[in-house]
Amino acid sequence: MIAGLLENSQSLIATSSTFLETNPPVPVACKIPMSQMAPSQSLQAALSSVQEAFVKRNPQSNQAHKEACRYFPGGNTRSVLYTTPFPLSFQSGHGSTLTSVDGDTYTDFLGEYSAGIFGHSNPQIAEALAGVLSRGWNFGGVNSHEAILARKVCERFNLEMVRFTNSGTEANMMALAAALAFSARNHPGRPEPKSIVVFSNAYHGSTLSFPNTLVDEIRRGHDVSHLTPNLPHNFLIAPWNNPAETAELLATRPRGSIAAILVEPLQGAGGCRPASAHFLKTLRALADQKSALLIVDEVMTSRLATRGLAQEWALRPDLITLGKWIGGV
What is the tens place of the pLDDT at every residue in 168-192? 999 999 999 999 999 999 887 766 7
99 part of a folded domain: no
76 part of a folded domain: yes
Let me know if 162 is exposed, middle or buried by CB neighbors in 10 A (0-12, 13-18, 19+).
buried
Q: How confident is the model at residue 276 (pLDDT cuts 50, 70, 90)?
A: very high
* CATH number of the CATH domain containing 315: 3.40.640.10
Distance between CA 289 and CA 29 in Å, rounded? 60
Contact 328, 177 (CB under 8 A): no
Whether residue 171 is found in the same domain as residue 258:
yes
Whether residue 240 is found in the same domain as residue 285:
yes
Whether residue 74 is found in the same domain as residue 202:
no
113 part of a folded domain: no
Residue ending a domain, among 87, 108, 124, is 87
Whether residue 171 is found in the same domain as residue 25:
no
Paired sense of beta strands 105-108 and 18-20, if any:
antiparallel
Residue ending a domain, among 47, 62, 87, is 87
102 part of a folded domain: no
Let me know if 59 is exposed, middle or buried by CB neighbors in 10 A (0-12, 13-18, 19+).
exposed
Residue ending a domain, among 49, 70, 87, is 87
Mean pLDDT to the nearest integer, 90-118: 94
Residue 162: strand pairing partners:
4
Whether residue 55 is found in the same domain as residue 148:
no
Whether residue 150 is found in the same domain as residue 182:
yes
217 part of a folded domain: yes
Range of the domain at 32: 20-87
Distance between CA 265 and CA 202 in Å, rounded? 11
Whether residue 155 is found in the same domain as residue 275:
yes
Whether residue 173 is found in the same domain as residue 262:
yes
Q: Which of 320, 267, 328 is nearest to 297 (CA)?
A: 320
Whether residue 197 is found in the same domain as residue 70:
no
Q: Which of 87, 83, 313, 301 is nearest to 203 (CA)?
A: 301
Other beta carbons less than 10 A from residue 301's beta carbon: 24
| Residues sharing a CB contact under 8 Å with residue 109, sequence separation 6 or more, in sequence order | 17, 18, 19
Q: What are phi and psi of 19, to 5 degrees?
A: -125, 135
Whether residue 51 is found in the same domain as residue 196:
no
278 part of a folded domain: yes
Contact 313, 320 (CB under 8 A): no
pLDDT of amino acid 191: 65
104 part of a folded domain: no
Instruction: State the DSSP H helix or E strand holding residue 20, giving kind and residue range, or none if neither.
Output: strand 18-20
Distance between CA 299 and CA 171 in Å, rounded? 9
pLDDT in tens, 192-247: 789 999 999 999 998 898 888 877 777 777 777 777 888 889 999 999 999 999 99
pLDDT in tens, 46-97: 999 999 999 999 999 999 999 999 999 999 988 889 999 999 999 999 999 9
Whether residue 7 is found in the same domain as residue 28:
no
108 part of a folded domain: no
Contact 54, 100 (CB under 8 A): no
Whether residue 29 is found in the same domain as residue 7:
no
pLDDT of amino acid 222: 76
Number of domains in the chain: 2
Q: How confident is the model at residue 265 (pLDDT cuts 50, 70, 90)?
A: very high
pLDDT of amino acid 28: 42
